[in-house]
Structure 1
Amino acid sequence: MLTEVTAVRYITPLREGGSLPGLVEAADGRGTYAPYVMKFTGAGQGRKTLVAEVICGQLARGLGFRVPGLTAIDLDPVLGLGEPDQQVQELLKSSGGPNLGMEYLSGALGFDSLAYAVDPVEAGRVVWFDALVNNVDRSWRNPNMLLWRGELWLIDHGASMIWHHNWRTAETAAAKPYDASDHALAPFGPDVAAAAAALAPLVTEELLAAAAADVPDAWLVDEPGFDDPDAVRRAYVTALLPRAKTIHERIQLPEPQRKGAIQ
């Protein structure tokens, strides 16, 4: 399970995200205080966004990608009583209990394809991973990647695994191609074949089960069609495991431009 900390202070909203994440200070119960980027169960996208963040983030970590550390942040709704911003106050009041915290990478910069080149091998790994989890939110308009200490970090996976919004169609949805035509790393000639050869064998039932096990029960209870949180966790494993073997064959990338082509 995720490490648990307790929110003690709301610092500021981070208005770049549609779900209005916030920067908070949290304590671990042993006298250590640290800042976290916090995403709320009471946000409009709902708790499934947080489920996707945990499963995809932990899976990415298991495959060797750089992702911020994740934790569960317990929030007492009274923390929002003194907030002057009505929208923030309502968000805090509706998000009591476990929320998602992400390691705050101080000084990190947003990815800019014009300022930072990515080699085809690394680009292929990211595109392949996004195809695996069906991440529809890593476009050139919204890369959801950071540069920290000279390295590329992946963030914000809440818009992944969209099939979990309708489990009855999950098998059909998980079998569809992945359109990477406007992926933020498409211009770098992603080598998805090399990525598949290296990463697909690592996507085991054990790795997927471990990632799903980190999702708090509170975000999985009362899921229609499932008896308990563990049954929901198994559904994620069932959807992702076969996808890893063949998704590289269904990644749709734009045709590379020829040198000297007329624009």
Structure 2
Amino acid sequence: MKDWKHVHQRVEEHEKSNAHKNCAEAYFLRASKADIESLMSGSQMPAHREQVRKRHQVLKHAEDVVKVIGNRGLSYRGMHSEAAYALDDTGVDHGNFLELITLLGKYDMRLNEHLTDCIEESKKLCHSGARGRGSLNTLLSKNTINAVIIRTHHIIQDSISSDVKEAGVFSVQIDTTQDITFQDKCTVIIRYVTIVIHERLVAVVKCEASTGEYFVQLLTEVIQKLNLDMSRCIGNATGGASNMQGQYRGFFALLSTHFPNQVHM
């Protein structure tokens, strides 16, 4: 925090943020011994502990399905309804994630019970005319998918970072392309050698500018987030656009002022 002149505004924005709300909720749950760890190991009623175990197993199934879909390079979301009350409708495209969860439920008693409860509770809320899902937490929503993807993303990045540090030196490749919404996205790939050559995609960043200076800053931030030392980068590869190849303000020219020993392609 550096902008002390507007500190009250920044504090207010932080207190309204999801990050602050989630951390505050986690703190109070732990303080009241209502977090998952306490419920699993505490002296709660057996029925309560069984409910916690069931939900933990459901979440484990969700994590495994997300990993399989990601490994296969498939989409997660459905084209039609992802609402819990429609999960028993086989004529609806629920998306790969929910379809696989439903399939697993046919062979797992706890998961099947959880799905049945979610469908019934969701239908009750739907018939009552209530807006939103209220207190219904299915552990199968897009929020769960996103949370698992983000966590998996961090684990993969940590693994790549560890491998690069072991390799000692690395090179980078960056390039941009437009997505279907016509927004420029920059991909950052790290190339390093152990007993074989590795090329790892470590970031896809929405471009806020197209100058060489901006791409130097973008690359530096990505490398720092991976806890890598930019001085260990011995080469870089880019496209041939002027913002990359410019003699004075291009990406490579500016990067060379900080790291003159890099080989450029």
Q: Fold match, TM over 0.5?
A: no
Q: Which protein has the bigger helix share? A: 2
Larger strand proportion of the pair? 1
Looking at both structures, which has the greater relative contact order when contacts are Cα pairs under 8 Å and sequence separation is at least 6?
1
